[in-house]
Structure 1
Amino acid sequence: MDQEADGPGAARSYTNPVLGGDRPDPAVIKVGDEYWMTYSSFEAAPGLLLYRSDDLVTWTYVTAALPEPLGSTFAVDVAEHDGRFFIYIPFIPTPWSSLTDASIFVIHADAMAGPWSEPIDLGVRGAIDPGHVVGEDGRRYLFLSGIRRVALCDDGLSTVGEIEQVYDGWRYPDDWITEAYALEGPKLFRRGEWFYLVSAVGGTAGPPTGHMVIVARSRSVHGPWENHPGNPIARTRSADERWWSRGHATILEVPGEQWYMLSHGYENGYRTLGRQILLEQVAWTEDGWPVAAADDVGGALPLPEGAAPQHPLLPPAEEIPGFRLGERWAFHAPLPGESGRLTVADDVLVLRGKGVGPGDSSPLALVTGDHAYEIEVDVELEGPVEAGLLLFFNGRLFCGMGIDGAGMRSYSGGIRTHWREPAPAGRRLSLRLRNDHHIVTGWWREQGGEWTRHGVRYETSGYHANTIGDLLSLRPAIYAAGDGSARFRDLRYRRLA
């Protein structure tokens, strides 16, 4: 990563990702001289985290637009119309939601920093991945997975008419190794006399060569759509590349008549980190087609004009002082109103228990993009509760350890293991987990004592979407299960070299 200061001889390059950790399906909008971005947050609450940037390279967290999701929050689109801002959201049914089908809602605000409205149901069912556009007729439309389309009312808060099929995609050769065709993720923009429709095909998980970015264009939002003769404009062609499953792109113009594309991808060897945000320059052919300017997005790339040198993606350390729910920490799959389980006072996190074990406890998890890190915390039990420290993918896949007052419980592969760690039977213990390039080691200690290494290490390179069928990431987490509460002190996260 380029971290040199500005001045003569300063490097003018950056490396991907521009925002590390699990940030799939980026949706980006330019507002004045700023760029704003959010991404799929799935079952995390708060959801739809909003980041701001001056140059597409360095991003700063601002707020969460969705305190309580109505379901699993899939790929959204962000739009501005007549000075008002909109986020179109597909919610997917979950065991805790009242939805029975994929449903598209909208929230709106006077400014990207909010406050944002409560979700409004558009009545669109069985579709995901909305993409907003204003046609040459001045009317507003949502393009949907498929690729289908529905008209919006002038205020953008309801639909008009029926959903119609408008584009059948571009078909890649049958011998290409992909997950599935899966035409999705429409994002639209206008350049000159053309509307451009940017979509994804090939499937977002599965083989590393699956996901890809395709483009079509039309002089009218009503079509017909002509496919790019050079499709796909972005694709992982070999598992030897650094970034896999590249897709779900937004293309936009930056100062100096430059164009850039933001997409997501898995890092080779680190699917566990989820899909991270990639930035690459776009060039234009003489006949008006966008093309990716770089052959390899895994190396050093030229900074956008006027951009400051790239700085570290995430802070190297995280502690309770300054803790903010949303910026890096979020609940996994909570029930409505569940943020009330957490209180923070005097550098102590108090978490009320839920469920019977880690899997259904809706743990508090930390997004990370680091290959190696360490997290530790002091755990004290209050009442009938089990609490501890995990590396958590979802309710079916996690590892780590917890205490229940009678001893230590150890977890691997999403289940309690047979291992009986000889930790003391007490109600307070400090725990530490180190993830060193997928090798996970644990320690515990009593107050004032020395650290004792847990007797079993875990290998977690397989804790990812292709193993468990869920498009998430492996995250450090704290949990409390049962009818009591847990007090967490001295919570520390730090990046390792």
Structure 2
Amino acid sequence: MVHLNRRGALGSLLTGAAVAAVPAAAEAAEAAVPCPAPAATWAKGIEGQRKADLGDGTFLNPILAGDHPDPSILKDGGVYYMTHSSFDAYPGLLIWRSTDLVNWTPVVTTLKTNVGSVWAPELCKHQGRYYIYLPAKFPDRNTSYVIWADAIEGPWSEPVDLKLPRYIDPGHVVDEHGVRWLFLSGGDRIQLAADGLSTVGAPEHVYDPWRYPDDWDVEGFSPEGPKVMKRSDWYYLVTAVGGTAGPPTGHMVIVARSKSLAGPWENDPKNPVVRTTNNAEKWWSRGHATLVEGPAGDWWTVYHGYENSFYTLGRQTLLAPVAWTKDGWFEVGGGDLSKPLPKPKGGKPGPHGLALSDDFSADKYGVQWNFFNPGPREHKRLSRAGGVLTLKGAGEAPSTGAPLIFVNGDQAYEIECEIEVDPDTRAGLILFYDRQLYCGLGFDAKAFVTHQYGIERGRPANPHGSRMLMRLRNDRHIVSFHTSGDGGATWKRFDRGMEVSGYHHNVRGGFLMLKPGLYAAGQGSARFRGFKYRALG
């Protein structure tokens, strides 16, 4: 991805071979970040959310609905692992697990230290150790880090700064001599040390990416997302060009091959191998692809795309078949992916997703719930006991605090929760893009607080007092609210509706998603009970 201008609040904490000095207070604070509960406690179902596996030997994209962009996939024996850009959400870089490429369950969240907005990571394994290479941006700096673990479940190391200020989207590969490399945006590469925790020498340019015709509707050239693999005598370099968003026909996948990682690289005469060609297609801006061998030895690719008319859901993870041709290139099948496809053969289906309703009996922090761009002690605001989630207030509104949000993948859904506030505290339900663009409804003991376009729009009287049930419904961008002061026996529709189809990247920038969530602001705390998520038909 390109041209991101995100925010940040905390420098990196580094351990291992390349340790940088950090404030002791920050280090102590981050060391106390809690770990999420084991997977069995939160993989309980998907409550009507979209599921790719149709149960008849076919699947319908997306394989991971909602904002799961820049997929990086690793085949590890008979198991597949995948992670995605997590941007400003912390804890971040959630790893998913599958044995059939279609059904996915969460495994572990790997990144707890706020190193900035994190995008286009690379998950790989080398000599028994797992690595994630991750670009990160603060407003005043850009670099790439690496974290590592000896088991996929962790523990994962603190980030090590690779000191690559001009690059994004690293792709890991090992050459025929056993030397490790990162391929970078723009057609450059840099050598890695043997342990993968530092770089050797300076970046070098080895590839001039294929360029589309000048009359195509694209966002910009933006060569990014290089993924390199070897098959037979050839190295294949899969790259995205055309810009991540902008016109739906912009983002695309191109391929080049070479007998050496140093080049020369030969462009596929059929480039691009993936592209949205018409605005009527189901999936827009398709790109950032990685090839992976399926359970039965056939080949597939994962990449991301925006859903037609639902930019608000972010870029979702898609799966398509790959066929190798006699001339040593490959073709990507599936068309625009609007129809069911045969599932990969040989895989064993497992559970998919996680329950988004939360009775707060198990710890889903970092797996479902994430803070947006948190400060170094943000997790201290959060506590859970006896089926109650307590969230200390921060700032005066979501624009000056860090709300607690999550990724979902439905075009229509509702969330519901009982909320109780202390004096001088406001809390509620929101749909949050970033601190300048969100909507929702909150309250204190005397008045409601309406949020729209990222600003406070009104404070009508609150007849329920300091405790109420609140429901937020997003029915294909039409947002409504209901409240109840008698435990749900009666509900009253709130007298302000909203339309949120424009709460997305092509309006605001940032490559994010409009996420549902909770917020608490002011001097006291808010208590949340019985959070419910329901997908609507």
TM-score by length of 2: 0.88
What residue in structure 2 maps to residue 373 of structure 1?
A: 413
Higher relative contact order (CA 8 A, sep 6+): 2
Cα drift, residue 308 of structure 1 = 4.8
Q: Tell me the equivalent position of 2:465.
A: 426
Aligned to 2:340: 300
The amino acid of 2:295's aligned partner reads P
Does 2:136 match 1:91?
yes
Whether 1:351 aligns to 2:385 is: no
Structure 2 residues not aligned, in runs of 5+: 1-50
Q: Measure the CA separation in 2 of the matches of 1:280 and 1:310.
A: 19
Counterpart secondary structure, 1:80: strand
Give 1:183 deviation, angstroms.
Answer: 0.5
More strand by share: 1
Q: Is the Cα–Cα contact under 8 Å of residues 14 and 310 in structure 1 kept in the other structure?
A: no
- 1:221 maps onto 2:261 in alignment: yes
- Alignment length (residue pairs): 486
CA displacement 1:263-321 (0-9 Å, x = unmatched)? 00011111111100000000111111121022231211111012356976554744434
Q: Which runs of structure 2 are paired with 1:95-114 in the superposition (5 Å)?
A: 100-114=140-154
Report the equivalent of 2:101.
Answer: 56
Residue 399 in 1 paired to residue 444 in 2? no
Does the CA-based 8 Å contact 1:57-1:307 persist in structure 2? no
Report the RMSD for the aligned CA atoms in angstroms.
Answer: 1.7
Q: Cα offset for 1:429? A: 2.3
Name the % identity: 50
Report 1:31-42 matches (<5 A): 31-42=76-87
CA distance in 2, matches of 1:339, 1:2: 33
Distance 2:192 2:60 in 1: 39
Alignment of structure 1 residues 276-295 onto 2, 5 Å: 276-295=316-335
Equivalent residues of 2:224, 2:241 under 8 A apart: yes
Distance 2:221 2:516 in 1: 33
Q: How far apart are 1:222 and its partner, in Å?
A: 0.8
Report the counterpart of residue 505 of structure 2 in structure 1.
465
What residue in structure 2 maps to residue 8 of structure 1? none
Q: Distance in 2 between matches of 1:311 and 1:300?
A: 19
- Match of 2:163, SS state, is strand
Note closer, same or farther for the CA distance 1:4–1:185 as it changes in structure 2 (3 Å cut). closer
One-letter code aligned to 1:450:
T
More divergent stretch after superposition (210-219 vs 323-332) = 323-332
Equivalents in 2 of 1:427, 1:273: separation in Å? 32
Task: Give the aligned partner of residue 137 of structure 1.
Answer: 177
Unaligned 5+ residue runs, structure 1? 6-10, 95-99
Specify the code of the residue in structure 2 equivalent to 1:395: R
Task: Check the 8 A contact 2:100/2:349 in 1, yes or no.
Answer: no
Which of 195, 200, 206 does residue 155 from structure 1 map onto?
A: 195
Whole-Å Cα distance in 1 between the matches of residues 57 and 53 of structure 2? 10
Structure 1 residue 494: Cα displacement? 1.3
Q: Which residue of 2 aligns with 1:97?
A: none
CA distance in 1 between counterparts of 2:208 and 2:110 reads 33
1:383 Cα deviation from its structure 2 partner: 4.1
Provide the rounded CA distance (Å) in 2 between the counterparts of 1:199 and 1:373. Answer: 35
| 1:375–1:492 contact (8 Å) kept in structure 2 | yes
Select the residue among 282, 290, 294 that pairs with 1:254. Answer: 294
Deviation of residue 475 (structure 1)?
1.2
Q: Give the secondary-structure state (helix, strand or coil) at the position aligned to 1:146.
A: helix
CA deviations 1:371-416 (Å, max 9, x no partner) are 1111111111124221111111111111111112231111111111
For residues 253 and 3 of structure 1, the distance between their equivalents in structure 2, rounded to whole angstroms, comes to 19
4+ aligned runs moved over 6 Å, structure 1: 309-312
